[in-house]
Copies of this chain bind each other. A is one copy, B any other.
Amino acid sequence: MNQIIECVPNFSEGRDREKIEKIVDSFRGKKGVKLLDYSNDENHNRLVVTVVGEYEPLKEAVLESVGKAVELIDLNKHEGQHPRMGAVDVIPFIPIKNATMDDCIRLSKEVGEAIGNDYKFPVFLYEKSASAPHRENLASIRKGEFEGMAEKIHEPEWHPDFGPEERHPTAGTVAVGARMPLVAYNINLNTTRLDIATNISKKIRHINGGFRFVKAMGVDLPDKGMVQVSINMTDFTKTALYRVFETVRFEAKRWGVTIAGSEIIGLVPMAALVDTAMYYLGLEDFSYSQVLESRIMDE
């Protein structure tokens, strides 16, 4: 696979094993597409698929999966803890290798247009693909969920980007867009004082004046006798892991608190860790193509 675009579609079915497998089958045994992971949560009643592929094969596989979801899932009968507005709820495309954000924006629009036309399933472009600033945030689009969308879709600022201006009777609406890879990154502190983790979270997160691509909150870890700065890195290519780590370290120092360790939850692109090694070793003139595994993936 010479080009790698990641896609993490979320489907509103987390309980019926047969339906789950039918949907996931869309990503199996296809040249230029590789299923990396899928996990369903019964409480959330939701299925999260992680797949990578090249532009065209990935597009076709995603459209196939959307067709199956529209056929198999009826949101009128759906209940679960996770907010949702569609049979496929959200479809993000993420550039990993030999693909730009612009490629992913174009892909999201092609996929969105096909979903609107082929399945009469209304599409909101979100994140980097959004058609207006107030439509960038998924939570803003999804507010009201499947039930509320029956009315909301008629409001002038919530007309869909593709498909009919009417909620699909069983499938609802879907958000499609392009975004950078998310890295779920947590830093544990050698203290039980949650206020310190909360305070540091505010210093590093974008909304309070911190780094542009950091979301963060303080979390108590009573089992460990520690607290945690729980972080979502929304663009590690611009806000690097090591920069956040070192900032948390020097902020904690004012309370005489040290870092106990950190953890990455789920998958992380190789570049995020290579960038970290490059910083700490002061590596000069290093290219990702010097990583042996990176060469192996080229065709």
Q: Which residues of chain B have C-beta atoms less than 8 A from A283's C-beta?
A: 261-264
**A6 to B292, Cβ gap below 8 A?**
yes
- Tell me which of B34, B36, B263, B266 contacts A285 (CB under 8 A): B263
CB-contact partner of A280 in B266, B280, B296, under 8 A = B280
Q: Is the interface of A mostly helix, strand, loop or mixed?
A: mixed
Q: A260 contacts which of B96, B282, B294 (Cβ < 8 Å)?
A: B282
Residues of B within 8 A of A296 (CB): 1, 4, 34, 36, 52, 297
> CB of A39 within 8 A of chain B?
no
Residue of B nearest to A272 (CB): B277
Identify the closest chain B residue to A34 (Cβ): B296
Shortest Cβ gap from A263 to chain B (Å):
5
Q: Mark A266-297, 1 if CB is under 8 A from B, else 0.
A: 11111001101110111111100011111111
Closest 10 CB pairs of A and B: A276-B277, A273-B277, A261-B282, A280-B280, A270-B293, A261-B284, A267-B292, A36-B295, A277-B277, A262-B281
B-binding residues in A (CB < 8 A): 1, 4, 6, 34, 36-37, 52, 96-97, 181, 188, 241-242, 245, 259-264, 266-270, 273-274, 276-278, 280-286, 290-297
